[in-house]
Structure 1
Amino acid sequence: MSDPRRPGARTRSDGARSRSRRDRGTATTLSYVLTLGITALLISGLLVAAGGAVESQREDTTRETMEVVGQQLSSRLMAADRLVAAGGSEVAVRGAYPGTVAGSTYSIAVEPGSPATIELTATGTRVSVTVAAPARTPVAETTVSGGDVEIVYVGGQLEVREA
């Protein structure tokens, strides 16, 4: 039997010609689905890798910024110490610092000792920085929120307070 669309073409009675056309359609669809699946896996892998890199960069930025704030605070504490050593009885040294570091708040803990230490701890990450603050005048143990602070001489010792 011949196909009226194509002169001289024969059709099989078992439908092999129509099945091969369906198989080609299935192969195209399967290929498309597989391509989409592989692409989705690659993109999700890239997003996971980039997310880790962004978090690492955020922690590094937080650490570096808190080190700078800690050094500046240590410098102001030592300046207040020098003013007390020079005979000052009413000493107050102010410092303006950012309220947040890389999008998270932080706390400032001052520990007495020789030398006194200043520990800055970010609340949004697991980053903590400790800076030494050598002072001859005793330093009071305090904890304040990050931001503007004031170092005052009260009761024979230096105390860090929120400004």
Structure 2
Amino acid sequence: MRERSRSRRGRGTADGGDRDRATATALSYVLTLGITALLISGLLIAAGNTVEQQREDTTREALEVVGQQLTARLMAADRLVGANGTDVVVRGSYPDSVSGSTYSIAVRSGPPPTVVLNATVTGVSVTVTAATTTPVADASLSGGDVEIVYAGGELEVRSA
């Protein structure tokens, strides 16, 4: 009788141990999947933020280039007027969009005159100052072909 009770105890322990191992394997699998999902989502969020920051930086740099070129042409027109020019027209061609975003150009009379460029998609804004002695008229336009005309005693920036 003693042998039978031992074998029953042995079988009972083995059955309970198998159930525990099966539960531990399933739990381990679920935990591994959960941790992996958290790590991947964290990486995707971090990468998304990095890409968005890079896009804003690229847009800002492109707007600064356009702003510098436009103010350089504005100052060139100012020098032509200063050299007794009466029929001054300076043209410039700029991209219609930067980094996949259209942008607007606002010219403010100052002092000093400033050119403000705003990207519509990213919301990035850049301001560039122009050193001119000739008054500059306020204007609002979008990117693309632009001309600077001396009319009515001031420089006007228009779409070409």
TM-score, length basis structure 2: 0.87
Task: Give 2:56's aligned residue.
Answer: 59
Equivalent position to 2:123, from 118, 121, 126: 126
Choose from 133, 138, 148 the match for 1:136: 133
**Match status 1:90 vs 2:87:** yes
Partner amino acid, structure 2, of 1:105: T
* 1:75–1:133 Cα contact (<8 Å) kept: yes
How many angstroms apart in 2 are the aligned matches of 1:110 and 1:63? 18
Deviation at 1:88, TM superposition (A): 2.3
| Separation (CA, whole Å) in 2 of partners of 1:47 and 1:11 | 54
Q: 2:3 — aligned with what?
A: none
The match for 2:157 is 160
Map of 1:21 onto structure 2 = 18
2:85 counterpart SS class: coil
Other structure's SS at 1:56 match: helix
After the TM superposition, list the runs of 4 or more consecutive aligned residues in structure 1 that deviate by more than 4 angstroms: 10-16
Q: What secondary structure, in the 3-state scheme, does the structure 2 residue paired with 1:139 have?
A: coil
Which one-letter code corresponds to 2:96 in the other structure?
A: G
Offset of residue 43 of structure 1? 0.8
What is the identity, as a one-letter code, of the residue corresponding to 2:140? T
Alignment match, 1:32: 29
1:75 alignment partner in structure 2? 72
Distance (Å, rounded) in 2 between the aligned partners of 1:98 and 1:26: 63
Give aligned pairs, total: 156
Shift in Å, 1:15: 4.7
- The answer to which structure has the higher helix fraction is 2
Amino acid at match of 1:51: G
- In the alignment, is the contact (CA less than 8 A) between 1:114 and 1:134 conserved in 2? no
Structure 1: unaligned runs, 5 residues or longer: 1-9
Aligned partners of 1:13, 1:82: CA distance in 2, in Å? 103
Distance 1:18 1:49 in 2: 47
Task: Choose 31-40 or 99-108, whichever is displaced more.
Answer: 99-108
